[in-house]
Structure formats: structure tokens, C-alpha cells
Structure 1
């Protein structure tokens, strides 16, 4: 006969009440035996009996197994277990390798990992320049960098943290550095003449480096700023939202930005501190944390999650079971948020709710997401939310620290309750952006229902948003007042009939005003289809009357078509067009199959010299061109300009160029019987070769680090080579980076891509890398380069098209992709903000890549027809309007206006 359960006695503790409820749960399930529960739960009867014994808190996994065996809801028990776990968790062992939510100190230097490259960069800057400014978002680790990274790395340094009295805080920190003085005496000295600090350091400690933390707190203290910025060696740590105020001081210094930790850096920050004390972290825990926090300023949350996992470690192993019991980052956020709310009181909670909801937007599909905003709120409350790691302050404003904040049950409930207001607010933000883009056109202001809904948002709005609503309300009032005055006069003259007529006339006026924009855009689109002139003029009228994303798109396209660059006299239909890297020249195929060089100047092209008979340009760089003759032999040319071509040399026999660096200094290709780029099963007889073109008449062969890569790319300065090697067995392409100098050496950790990589493209400054997958549809991933680290994924551009993508970067963080006949441009960001699509146009691109022209700040893209025409695509609407108005190309003639719009009053667009 099975032994009965030990009585619990009075349930006067949370642990005993928990055990009692587990027993009652078993009773409600029909009181199965523990042997039967064991069969259902896959745990031993003894473990299940102990779980309800009340002597110790069972593990989360055991508790949930018990609950599921009793067919109860595991979610509510998970929440209850975690609340109880907080009470019963022992304090961390003194040997815990992680600091939790606190910054690293100098004593933690031996376990400060992941920021080695950044430390080296700052130390090098200190040796080269007097002043270095380290900028980082809140939670990026500025304090840890100074105390655990730089302080031990520098021979002589001191950390200064300004507070309420920055000068006195400076003096207190230096009183221990300078002998025979006191903090009060130093403070008085610095206030009388801030330059005394510089003189003291030069006389007594010439190598001393001042490490100033939280410098943004002292920007309003001129004596402090003057004292520290004049010193020989200074590092200022400035929170990112203080960058503008810092720059307004006009002090020159080297700026270094603390980027979020990459996956590899975060992995080291997790594993290395544990390894230092002989502990290990299970791979599953590492994978979960890296997936949750890589490339985000969430390191404090990771450290807190690791501390909670450490408390539940098995021996010296941080296990997945312990991590799941702790709740991970999500539980850290919930606990921190609820703890903060408990201290705020009812009024403070309402204010916190309003602030947090301002940092949330709701998509059309109803999904809530984080958003960045400039807030004009109580600085104390914002500071508390930042300290609790719920909000991060960046250069662009405030944002929720992590997606886990959105999953905080209380905030999720607030979002559901205010979902309609959040949608209204999102529409208002978009309206303000359009209003600003249209040079604050009064017609873009709110009125009617939209205005009434915006007013109802009240204190939810920022100062800028309230100003927009107030301006809209004033305009609405003026329109209503004028209408009432006119109606009063007419009522006195002809009651009844005139009221109807006026009401009807007002509708016609509103209809005409609304219809005018649509009619102008329709006229523009019709002219575009027929390739007839003036499409841009009508598009400008449409945009001026009714500014919107759609009218802006038509204006950009109409401007590009109006400025189209034809290659007059080139009779060959569908000719190949190869444009130089900066868009100043192009090679276009003539009717005889020979390429001719053309000079491109703003919006026109002038013919130049031809290459040798039936030579076609394969690659075009600055002052270099590679051509292929009718026998397949490739040749190197010097291109001084379109009218000055000089033959240099033939490239090696059977050589096929894969890439030529934009500056013309390096060339890489393959040698083989039939080299075809982009095949996942290359000919084994092929091999790759790399050449230095410093002496272009005698190319010098360089060591090729990979024998037969499937994909290769050169950086624009020719100093780096990327190679992609496809492993058909594993379905993986390994991308490696190589530094090209006298030798070829590794330039960073490799990237493994679980797809066949068809193409790789560097940006001009080397900060970005585009990788095109073929699976079989074309997918372009854009990665941000990290010095000596693993690149960070910033954008993923999918398509249903199978054609290969041709990728180009501008010099201001935009990426242009041409696939088949689609031309697309996206704006990239160096944080976790998704890329913004700026352009998506069908009917452009064709056989050539888009080329960014820095001198014109536009993209050259192939027209959609067979003619070898290039369209200058400018994305700056204000610049388009300015250009049209300056050239008097914006005004329709009177006859054109009347023909299209009848007697409607003319709109002056300039």
C-alpha cells in the first residue's frame, strides 16, 4: 500500500502555500497516484512528491511537469513560480563572474571581454590626439569601457564623474593625484582660472589621462568644460543624446562611437568571464542570449540574466534549465519594470505609462513595435526608466531598450487599451513628415475628423506635434469664420436659395481642390507612358496640391525621365551600358559591336573615342577599363577621359575578370576553359588569380588565398578581397576577408551563409557589405562592417525575381539594388532600426547596375526601354523642386494649364 503524503501543517509561508496548491491541483485532477503522475510527467514519483512537499522550491521544469500531468494551465504557474523564486533565490556567490546591472570596475578588468578592439582604438587615439570623445547610447557600456577597459590599459589615468558640482568633483578626483593640496583648494583654483589644470598636469604628471564619465552632465558648467578640454590627454564619455550639445561647444576632438556588441563580441562577453573561474556556459544558453541581444545595446540585461542563471547553476555549469528557470532577459525586464512602478505611486505610474506608450507604434497588421522619438518629458522620470533599463537614449531620441519590454504584461495591456490612439498618433507623425517635406504647405495641415482625433490625444503629443495640431486648428477656425461671415451676408439678401447654392459651391470647391492634384498626377503618368515632355511639371503641380508618398514618387520618376541622358547617334538597340564608378563616364555598345566611351555631364552625354574593333567593356574603373575581344581574350586599357584611351596590355590567356577595384589598383579573375560566374558547381580545372595593377603594363601577380572561390569581390580601394566558397554537402557558403598588401592576410573572422552566395559588393567607404543569395530567388542581405569583428546584419531585401541583383552604395548610407527591371533604394541604419524603403520602381534597371554620383547626389539607372538611356534619379524632393524652379522648368504655360484644368485657379509652385 503506498505511503500517504506528509501533512503540510499551517500554510503560513509562500512556499507552503505553493505546495498546498500543487496538492489541491492533484486532487482536482482525480487524485492520481504519484506513480501515475510519474508516467504522465516523465519524472520519478519521488521527485513529484518532493515538489508538493513544501520543504524546498522545486525547479521550474519539475513544477510544469507536475502541472501538465494534472492537465492545468502552465502559464499561470510559470508566473507564480518566478514570483516565488525571487523570494527564495540565494544571493549570488561572491565569485560570480558577471556584474549584473552594475558597470564593470577596475577590479573587473580581467573579466571585461568583447570590447578589446574598442579599447585599442581609444588608446591609439589618446596617443595621437589630445582629445577623444567616446559616444554611446545609454546601456552601451561607456562607464565599463572607461573603468575596466581604459583605466587598466593606460599607464597613468584617473576617472572623473561630474555630479551636481562638476568642478568640485573634478577637484576631489585630482586631490589624490596631486600632492600637497586639497579638493577645496583645487576647486577654487580651477574656478579662478580653468587653465591651471593643464599647467599642473604638464608640470607634475605630463602623462596623466583624464577619463571623464557622464560628460553630458557637465556641459552646462563652463569652468569644468574649459578645464578638462584643454588638458594634454583627455577621453570624454558622452551619452549619445548629448552629441549635439557637445558639438555646439565647438571643441575639436576625435569622435569614436560605441556600437552594439556583435554576435562574436557578445559570445566572448558571456563565455570568457565564466572560463576565467573554471565555469562553463551551455551552448544553448549562449545561442539564446546572442539571438536576443546581439547588435543591440542590451548588455546590462544580458549580464543580469547571467547573474540569475548563475544563482541556479548546476555545479560550475550555467545550464539551459537554469536559464529557463530564471526567465532570461524577459523576466529581468518584468522584474525591473514592476520594481520601478512600485516606487512611483499612482501619479508616477500614469506618467510612466504615457511615456512608454509614446515609444510604441502599431503597424497596420496590429503588431506593436518599438519606435524612436524625441521626448519633452520629465527628465527625472526618463532617467529612472533609463536606469531601470526599460528605455535607451540614443542620438535620435528615446526608444524601448529591447523587444522584451513590449512583452511586459502590463505594457502589453496598456498597448491594447490605447491601440486606437496609437494608430491615430502614427498617422499624425506621418502627416507631419509630409507637411515638413512640402515646405509646410497649409493644405497639408489637418482638418475635420483627423484634426478632432488628433486633439483628443492631448498630453500624449510632443511639443512639435501639439504645434502642428494648434496650427491646423487655427487654419480650420479661419476657414470656418470666413465661411460664416459670407453666409450671414447672403442670408440677409436671399434666404434659402443662396444657402443651398453656397453649400453646393463649397463642395465643388473642395472637390476641385482635391481633384486638381489627382488630375495633375494622372496627366503626368500619361505623359510618362508616352515619353512626352512636361510630365515633371504636372507631377510638381500634383505634389504641391496634394503632397503624399505617392505624389512624391511620381515627381521623382517624372524628374528622372525629364532629365534622361540619351546616347545620341548610338543606333544599337538594347546596347550594353557600363558606367564608371562615380558616374562621370560610360561605355556604350555601337551598332558594329564595339564599345565607345561617353562623357556624362549632369544631364547630357558627349561621345568620345572607341576601343579597338569589336572590343566590349567588361569592367570600368577610375582610369582603367577591361575589354574582351571577339576571341574572348581580355585586355587592359588606360582611360584618362572619354577622348583619351590608351591600350596597356593583354591579360593572361583564358583569364576572365570577376572584379576590378573602383580605383583600378587590383583585379581578380579566374582562369579556365569556360569560366561562368555564379554557377554553384564550378569547373574543377578553374583557378583564381589576383593581380596588382600599380604598373598596368606589367600586372604583378599576388598570392591568391583561395584556389577556386565561387564568388569574389574587391573593396573599392583594392586593399581588401572577399571570397565565397560553396560547400555543396553542407549547403553553406563561407565568406572570408583578406587584406591585400605585400602579402595577403586574413582581415577578420569568416561569415557562414546557409545558402549559395551569388555576389558580394563593398560600399565605397568599406562600412557596408551586400551579399546576394540565390535560393533560387534573389535575396540581398546588407551587413555593417565592424573593425576586426563579425559583420552585423542590418537589412534583408527579398524578391520573387530569379535574376541576379546588381548592388550599389551611396556615400550616405543608402543601398540601391537593380533586379531584372526593378530599381530599389533603401536607407540603412547603424542601429537595430529596420532599413527604410525610399524607392521601388518597376521598369528601370535592365542590364546595368545603378551608379551613385556623389557630385550630383543622385543615382544613374538604366531606362526601361531598349534605348541605352540613363535616368538621373534624385531622391531629394526639395532639391528637385529647387532645380526645376531655378531653371524655370516648373511653370506650365497658360494654354497648357487651361487645356488640362480649365478655369481652375492656377497654382504657383515656385
Structure 2
């Protein structure tokens, strides 16, 4: 923010006086007149902080002393010291100050939106000026330990390190303690946590992360009037906060930073130069602003990158010589490449100036300074590339240090020392470099899986190194084993080639991991010998070379199987709906079958079961029709569903059986075929092409009439009337023509002034709908008379239209090339707009035969399935190129899609699927935090972060339907049916408990049941009592009418979970104090404390026979305990906080859900059976009923998984997969055909 006193002197001769202005409107510099136009600038005298802008002529600007130093900062963020060069954010700064009256503000924005700069160079200088000498800014960017980062900010602000040693304890009360003890009484603090997302990307210790977040919450809750907290975070990390319920109360105080408007951009561009006595050539600023407004490949507007703007302006300044004429010129701007090319060209120049060896080192450096947002080591599943911070000590080679310094000098990298006692760090000057330099983008694309592997190795090695110095036995659990280590060993040389040699900590970590694996292998060989001997095979018979050969074969086969499971994981991430991951999993499974069961390593068996489960649960592709040599434009089912016709750009029409077998006939045109259609009895097939010709064929492939020259331009659509007596054609020439089935012309309807892209008959055949490139839909009587005015509402070309079948009422659906889908009444009144994240063109829409479902084929290749209420039921991803056509079979459960990838995919949409996905019934896709089955009726209840409780009806054979329960709370947490199935109880974070009937009618509300929030609630098995737990650290018991009975104190943190035993005599509670406690409800006493977890416990469960208690913790483990509180075993396997644990109804299985997006299935003895994958974010809640497992996630989805008994058997799971893929495999001539016949 600019100091008004530092503004240039006003020109005494100027007749215009300076005004205080709130920048908005059209601030512009006119060319010839050398004047500044404020004609539409809003005047606002209410805020003295608003920047003073002085109306001065160009000549007056140029008359100021020339400051040759660039006033633009390049890629780095603005700092407090840059306040005099920071322009364009006046309005939002005023707003931020108003919002900060609550003493907390979360600032959200995309990378490059200017969040950090806005606070550092805008808000902080403003507050410093207003608040005087006692103002202190504490700027903290989280690193591996955020408490140490906060301590460093105190040191930078002038506080002694000896006063802040308590922060090294990493405790939740530390931040508030600092404000209460370190801060002087007259000090006013602004605590700015910048790049808050790095708390999740850099801090490897989940407990420290939890404590730091708790510390921020405590700091806000402390109510200190002289402490303000501002947190800046990338908006795409917002979902990470849902795992921290204590944050919910302050997350409402957020501000989204949007792009600068044109007027604000003009200020940000012109004013820094004006301060240094330089102006822009007329029209150059407008050209720069226009250059910032690019569009991506799908035509969507790209976000404005302010660092890219600053870099371009800095390069423009530096490329303008001595600026003797005081003008920044358009020719120079274009010479450096403009906004879109300046950075690219400059980095290329720097890189090309290096020697060959230095270029290789530069590549190593850049790749070590990037990471990917999501990935699993051992797979090729990767996410968006982001910047990564590294210590300078990672670059020890002299050539590395030389190149690194040159890159820092060129302002492509920045280096800093977070605190006096920490190592200096280096990072990309801004992530804009990743998006703007093609060479770096190529390196990243080539190395994406290895980037994540390399960085995870570095992080895990450092964590192991730190832990090993404290507790070597505990550190052993951090070493890599199994497929993770196998993947590292396979890629070790490639890692060195791409990133350089390992550091000493990494080398020691890898060596220790290999040694542990070698010890395990020797034990496995010994087990193998014992096992063989134990089944009656004399060791002498398999000794020597024979035994070694057996062992080598098993190891080789295991290696192949591990590689296949890793491939399956990558394929599942890319195309989970298709046959591809299932076929790869079947290959792994059938290989594992060849190894005797007693010789299969349990970990490998679990990996294969996981791969098979992914395929069996998620596969929707039933078959593929392959044989065309160019894109497929059209697909149609015969009315009896036994034949499928496809039309292609390759000029052919092919016929297929429903099982995917090609029928021995190929029909052809002389040019690309654009549409095919069967008549109502399936005896005639019509086809249309680009030259305007229609052909009529018998269902045996015979041409019934001579070709019909129907139009002189493309025919986009042909349709038979429902009665079968007429055929309609729609053309590029804007007309519709009607024909009889002998090919005789009946009439022309001059329908539209632009191409007619599609047409459809109403179910009774009396109305014809046409969809046009003019953006309208028209309804016609059969005689060509318009039935009503055109249907308006689409913003682009309408590509497809279809009537629903004979349903009551009748509907019309349409799709356009701007990505929107609209439902209308058949009479033309609009009903609803269907919106999804995919905004690519809709190429075709279709109704299912039962009228309940709509499908859409998109240019992106996606196939969407919607219900009539406008809920997106599923998006089927399998096509690699645009999807052109979609059609339902007459059974409404088979869907065919045609694509430019030369394939038709047949999708199965069964009403009794292995897996059912329940999309969020609210538009916000709010995270699901709680769920519970009604054990007496087909119902499921869920709670969402937005406070909404939802009741789902689960009638067999029907898509589950949601009912939103009344009186939504602040933030829904847990929900449960009574064991009798007649009541529902829920709790939320405003401390309220609500009780409903099983139909969803609200019975009673218990307000303020827990001060600070209620986190857990449960009915007693007899339905007489309700137990609840909350932020006040208490467990409370209530009668069924909501009257308090008694409280159970004891926990030292809030109570997160509760569970009754089957008799209702005992209750177990879990808390973030790292303990669970067992209570005798008859005596109201605690009888056992379950201690051993190293982090908060989020879930507890009794086994059905009441012999075991299971606990789930942020320390990534599950504990199994006896009723005396003694640990029986610890289950490890999750890689992040475990949120929920649940026993199966027979007690033989245990399910766990985690922030690592997975659900694990365990035998009660602790052996991992499989992992269920499919949620895109943290899995928060689980429940079971009969053979169904339900899961709720931060991604807003609830998934129902059918847990049939045969899904737990390798052989049965393979058979399930083979049965599904039978039609596809039967039509394959390659080795895949033999996959299920081994």
C-alpha cells in the first residue's frame, strides 16, 4: 500500500485537484491529450487508507526524477518493503480490514492470485500505519515443523529465542501461551500464516499438524483483542480442513481473492512506472491486459497470473535500455514475447547459456523443486505439479551450487533462511514458472511418477533419520517394505539419472530398508522350507538346485504379480469404469493362483485382492465393439435389443450382436456416415451421410431402395416416427424433410436459418422437435406448422434433443455445445438446467426406455448419467477422444457410447449393482461425516458438514432416494438409528442433539447439550438412553425424552466417538486425548483406560460378541483391546489418520476408513484381506448391514459396497471378474482370450 505522503508533488498549474478515490470504474490514460480520465471513477471519502492518485499529465510524470531501478518485482511475492509499488487492491483491502474486526480471517485464492502479496504489501503496511509503534507482524510460512516456523517469526520480530523455547514442545496451547507471555501488553500482533497449504505438504508429522491447528483455534478462541490472525491458503486445499472439526467455527470467516478487474490491472501496471518517472506508450497497457486473458484448450478463461504479469513488466523495463525518453514501448513488449512468451523466452535464454553438464544439473535442480499434489508410490497416479521447498544442503556438488546461484541471481529461484538456527531453503520464485516454461513442463510430464517417489523418499528418509536418533526400534516401522521398496529398487538408477545422487540420509534409509527386507526374505525362505517339510515333501527331494529353482520361480512370479498390481492401480486411477484395470487384475490373480496357497505372502495376496476388488466393484464397461478404422459418429439399438448398429467416418455401418460379436455384414456409403436409426419393428435400418444421402437397409443388410438424395448438405439426424410410417431427416441446410419408408418424399419444413443438428418425434408421433445451431429448439406439428414459439435458453448451438418415452408427464431433453443440458416439459416449458464440472460440448443426449434416466455424450469423452431430479448419478470415463453418440438399450440398463477413438463401449447400469454411489443431495457436495443403517428397515441416514441430515430410502431394485431432514444444524457430525429402527439421533458442532422418527419427523431438540460442540452420539441397544460426547470433554447420558441423567468426566480432550456393548451395560468412549475409556453404566464409573495410541482416537467399536474393543487413531493404527483395557494387537497399513472402525455383523471382519482415501478390510486376527478404493478424498464414516458396507467421504459421496461372502475368496473374486468380462474375452483373438482359462 502506498504512503500518500510519498506521492509526487501536484502540478500547481493543473486545474484538476487530487481526489481520494476508491479505485473502480475506468481509470485510463488517453494518448494525444496526455490526460488522465477519472470520469467513471467512484469517489469515496470514507476511508483515509485509500491510495491518493494525482491527476498529472504524461509530461509531468516524465518530469519527475528518473529512477532506473525496475519498480516491478518479477516472480517473487511482494514483501512489506514493497508497499510503495503495490497497486490495484484498494477495494479488497478496505473489505479485509472490516472483516478483520473479528480478529481472524482466512484468505483463499488460486496460485498466482496474489494472496501473499495482498497481505504482506497491502494489509500489513496499512495496519502498521494505523496502529503505531506497538504493531508487530509475525509472518510464518509452515515448514516441516510449523511450531519452529512460528518461533522463527517471533525471532524475526525481535523477541528473544530464550523466551520462546516452550514452542519446541509442539503443544496445542503454545501459540496462545506465546501471545499471553511473550507479547508485551502494549504490543498489537498480526499473525500471518502464509502458504497454509504447506502445513499439509511439508509437515510429515500428523500429530504436530493437529496440534498446530489446535493451537490456531486456541489462539482465536483466546479472545485477545490485541491479536489478529490471518491465514492465506490456496483454495484447492480447502477440503483438507474438513478433517479438523475444531476449525469449523472460524472457517466461516473467509475471503476469496478473485482476479483483478481491468481498472485494477491498469493501476498495477502503470502506477509503479509512474513512480519512477516512466509512462507506457498509448494502447500498450490495453494490449498487456488483453494478453493476460488467455483461454485454455476447452475455451475456458484462464486465471490471471499476477507473478507472470510482474515478471513480464520487469523484463520489459530491463529490456528498454536507459529509458532516456521515459516511455515503455509496444515494440519492446512484443520483442520480449508479450505476457504469454516473455518468461518462456527468458528462461530458455538462461538455460541455453549453460554448458551441457550445467543444463543437466539445472534439470536436476528444477525437478527437485517440484512435487505433485497426489500420488501413490508404486503407481503412475499423479496429480498437479506444485512448487516444493528444499534446503540448500541438498545441493552439495560445486556445479550444483554454481548453477543454483545463477538461477537465484536470475530471479527464477528464491532463497531464504526461515530462522537463524535453521538451514537456508530454496524454491521456485513462483509456481507460474511451472505453467509458463514448456521445457520444465516436459521434464515434469516425463518424470511425474518419479518426482513423487523421489520426494516421498526424501521426506520419509528425513523422518526416519530424526526418529532413529531417538528410538531406533520405533524408527524401523518407517522403513519401506513390500511393493513400495520394490518400486524404489526398480527405479533407483532412473532416480539418480533424473535427480542426481541420494543424500547421506536417503542412502542410509534405503540401505536400512534393504537390510530389513533381506532379513524378511531369509525368514521367508526358512518358512518355505518348513512349510514344504510340513506338508510331507521331503526336503531332500527339493534340496539343492531343485529348491533354489522353486524359490527363484516363486520370487520371479511374485515380482510379475507385484508389477501387475501396480499397473492396475494406475489404470484404476485413469479409467476405473473400464475393463482395463479388471483385466490386468485378473492376470495378477490367475498368476497368484498358480502359487500354492500356503506359499503366498499375505501382503501380496492382499495386494491382488485389492486389485481384483477395484475391478469387480467399479467396472461399468461390459464390452467393447472394435473394428471401425475411424471415429464412430452414431450408435443405435434395435427395438428388441439384440442388434447394435454403428456408423463411422470410415464410411461404413457395422452390425453387432449384444454380446459384442460382429455380424457378418458391413454396409457402406461413399462418404462419412453421420447417423443410423432402426424403425419401430427393427426390420429397417436408415443411415445418412455427409453428402445428403439416406439409405434404407433390411436388418439382414440388403439395400431396400435406391439411395435417396435427401439433401445437398450434411444430414445430421434421421428418425423414424413411432408408428413407423415416416422417416424424418435434419440437415446442415436448415431444413427438415419427411419421407415414407419406401423413400418417397412427403414434405419439407424450412425449420431454421442455421443447421438443424438433431430431431426427435414425440411418443405419439404427433410432434417433431428440432435442435439447431441457432441456439433454439422448435416444436412442429406433423404438417410443418409451428406448435409454439421457439424454446430459448441455450447459450450455444443446440446439438441434440430427445423426447422421453411414454411417461406421465412427457419430457424433452436437450444439450448444447457450451456444455449445458436442459430438461423441458414436452409442451416446451423449462424445468431445470443440469450442470456438472465438465463444461465441454454435449454431442448427444438420450432417455432410457423407462424414462427415469438421461445420458449425455460429451466432447471430453465423458458419458454422464442423470436422474430426472437433476442428480448426476455417474460419469463414465473410458473414451480417450470425444464421444459423439449415446443410446440406451430397451432394458434401460445397457448404455452404448460411440467415440472418435473408434470404439463403442457397452456400459452396464444394473439396478442391483455390486456398488452404488449416492451423490450429495445438496449442490455444494458437502462432506459426509456420519452415517448409519436402519437395521430394521431399508434406510440409511447421513450427516453432512453443512449441517444437513439426509434420510435415504434403499428399496431393492430402485435408485436410493434422499429426503432432507428439517432443521439442519451448524455442522453435522454423527447420526444413528435406534436398534429398534424407530428413532434417529444426530449431533452437530453447535452442541445440539436432535431426535427424529424413522420417517424423518423431528421429535425433539436438546440445545447446548455440550458447550463447544457435540461430536458423538449413540442409542443404547434397548433404545432407552442416548449417550453423547462433546467438546466439553464429557460423556453424557440422557433419557429418550432428552432429560439429562448423569455425566462421566475423565477425558482430557473432546470426546470423539462412543459405542455401547450389546447388553447396554457398558460404554466405551474415545477422545483426542489419545485414550479410550470403558465405563460401567450401572455404577457410573470408569473401569479401564485404553492407553497406547500416540495421537487422537477418532472411533471406537465393540465386537458383536463383546470380547474386543477396536480403536482408530491419527497415529495411523488400529488397536484391538480386551475388556480390561489390555492391548491385544495393533493393525498397521493406513498412511494417514484413521477416522472410523467397524466390525462386521458376524465379528469375523473389521473395516477401517482413513484420510488416505481408503477402506481396509481385516480379518479379526489382524490380517489384511483387501483395500477398497474409490473415494477421491478422506473417508470419514463406515457402517454395515447384512452384506452391505456403507462409507461416507469428504468428497461428498456415500458409497454402498456389497460385501458378498465370495468377495473374500481369491478364487471366487477371480471367477466374478471372469464372468463379467466373458463377452469381451470371447470376442478376442489375442492372449487376453485365454486369461480366464488358465
| TM-score with structure 2 setting the length | 0.32
Q: Higher helix fraction: Structure 1 or Structure 2?
A: 1
| TM-score after normalising by structure 1 | 0.41
